[in-house]
Chains A and B, each alone.
Chain A
């Protein structure tokens, strides 16, 4: 075999894209070797960025698929020289490197093998080698670099992207100041079980650090800062080590329970040439199968459910994929059992994590969750961390107390994967819930076997009972929904505008579109007034309740929704936006279409209520509770803010009759592929 390797040729004679090939074949084991010699010896090879030795033959189908995908990819700049002018390079190395490819080219191919569409970053010198390889060697395609203006925005965009797309989006950041900025967003992802994939630049070899900034931007252990709330990390010391750990990190991140991972990309590995005497391998990624609960326990749970008089499911982060929603519907209908799910911002925070169940399904008891929980004799928590909070009422008065919200004879059962990964320092695992059965396994993956176990136990007599139960639940659910509609009709013409009116006005404009609520709860009105049926229509909350999540997560999700042609709807809290408003520029720059409606109540309202509580407990009155909490005097003109960063924007709107026309105009802009904002002055709640 020629030393310069095989230039991958598809049927059309173009370069075949490695990740597409891998994705299509699922078997390719690629040797990535002897680059430097290859690149210096062969002009032909130098024209192609992907010179690989293919060890395993790809199938014809795989090659065809890869060719089709490659035809969409931009052609990268050509030439043998890598314009690496590293100031930290050894004096014995030429400023213009011609003797070999840099290690970061290999890193790019590893990333390509994982199929990443995009990579988010605020630029940083500790990953300049990788940055350059992505845009030049990699052709800035799969992954395409998304320019972010804050590392917290990068990670939150990756967070939102995953929840819309189901695949990770990597983030590059400094191993010091970058991850410090990003850490809160990483914590949100940890609490929300989202596999954010972090690549941190760092210079471990102190003798290679340029005096000055490179020292303060270097660290012994870059991942240490977020180790308490990441699933796994590694600091590779060779390129092959990087390749294996990068693939392992992807696998670890995606194995339920999912979570953020960190790979440190050392600057020397990025920037130094690949040794000609080494053969690099890109390991094959084998997607993991999620863990299922033990079969005996599943059978016992099925028995309890079939024998129960009022079984109830409380689902939180259950539906990892569209299939999770479908299976829960199947199980609930089989048993004619109630489901509580998808209640953003309702406290206790049950069911706010994912879109698990259609909001208008007759068995959806979310609108009357307190009554449903109080009546149930078997309650099954599905991927819910706060099961204690869901089954108890916590009273925040001078003396904090708790009382059960359930029947004394209720059997409590949990099915979740959270027990498979818990850490000590951060307490996101919530208060210990004493239950009758604890099934450890991924909820979505276990549902099929639970459904089958239930089917085996069904009798005609039980089916008849189920039918009556389902009818009663449907009536109760419908009545509760009508009550909420009646409540929404209160203060209809008020100004500032009620949150219910705003939710209704948005729904009127989007209900015939293929929409996706990418962020924002609006006091829980959308889930009460809108008809959520699809997995991507509700992406859930932040996880860690770290403010600053909403705007970037929405734009990350909108980035994922773009190729599907979905109308991304972001109901944006004002305080949240001001943490890192530069993400608006990112959306405009990359032409990410998203409809943003400002939920502008001019305060950190949650905190306002806390200060009210403290003030009145101390018998001092709440007259000054706004101090330190309001975002007013001056009020922020969000439309101008957005316009300054290239958005179409209107507002502030204070007359409810103006909302509909403004939304129409904004949606027209979004349909052209651009972001648009409507700023609405709303009531505090």
Chain B
């Protein structure tokens, strides 16, 4: 019933980041975090990355925020994922929507102090 769905993305993200640094991308600052939240849930990002973009070790879907991933890399990986993530083409997720999502994930709250976690 279950099938393997996901595998580590982190190492490929590093590769993507390297490539993206050479590639001009759309401006990210135009995005709206409020609209981005709606889109983030509508297109199912939260299913693997969590509602607060916190990531999950299960599918090793990486955390997306609040630490800022360069928008160019974010775009590249969303359009042409290298591993298990479904590809999001401009037909189903526009550049403007992607910028909104970026605004949402980078506006998430910082982690709480580690002393809140039991050891």
Contact = CB atoms under 8 A, between A and B. Distances in A.
A621 B43 CA distance: 7
Contacts of B63: 487, 490
A352 B52 CA distance: 28
Given A523-B58, A524-B58, A684 B4 contact: no
A635 interface: no
Contact of A489 (B5, B93, B112): B112
Interface string B1-34: 1111111101100000000000000000000000
B70 interface: no
B60 to A, nearest CB: 7
A429 interface: no
Interface string A348-375: 1100000000000000000000100000
B88 A684 contact: no
Contacts of B83: 393, 395, 397
B86 A622 contact: yes
A75 interface: no
B107 interface: no
Contacts of A607: 2
Contacts of B47: 605, 608-609, 612, 625, 684-685
B4 A485 contact: no
Interface stretch (A24-32, A50-58, A266-274, A494-502): A494-502
Contacts of A498: 50, 52, 54
B60 A346 contact: yes
A619 B91 CA distance: 7
Contacts of B88: 616
A610 B56 contact: no
Given A396-B4, A396-B84, A622-B44, A490 B92 contact: no
Interface in B49-89: 49-61, 63, 81-84, 86-89
B48 interface: yes
Interface string A308-346: 000000000000000000000000000000000000011
A481 to B, nearest CB: 10
A623 interface: yes
Contacts of A393: 7-8, 83
A546 interface: yes
Contact of A606 (B3, B8, B42, B50): B3
A612 B55 contact: no
Nearest to A508: B118
B117 A394 contact: no
Contact of A528 (B2, B57, B84, B109): B57
A491 B114 contact: no
A241 interface: no
A612 B6 contact: no
A395 B54 CA distance: 23
A610 B114 contact: no
Contacts of B59: 347, 609, 685
A547 interface: yes
Contacts of B113: 489
B46 A684 contact: yes
Given A484-B57, A491-B108, A492-B111, A609 B50 contact: no
B55 A610 contact: no
Nearest to B47: A684
A346 B58 contact: yes
Contacts of B116: 489, 492
Nearest to A525: B57
Contacts of B82: 395
7 contacts: A370-B11, A394-B4, A395-B83, A395-B84, A484-B57, A492-B116, A622-B86
Given A490-B111, A491-B52, A613-B86, 8 more contacts: A347-B6, A395-B84, A397-B83, A494-B51, A524-B58, A609-B5, A619-B89, A621-B93
**6 A-B pairs closest in CB distance:** A491-B52, A616-B86, A489-B111, A685-B56, A523-B58, A490-B54
Interface of A: 345-349, 370, 393-397, 482, 484-494, 496, 498-500, 504, 507-508, 511, 521, 523-525, 528-529, 545-547, 605-610, 612-613, 615-617, 619-623, 625, 683-685
Interface of B: 1-8, 10-11, 42-44, 46-61, 63, 81-84, 86-89, 91-93, 108-109, 111-114, 116-118
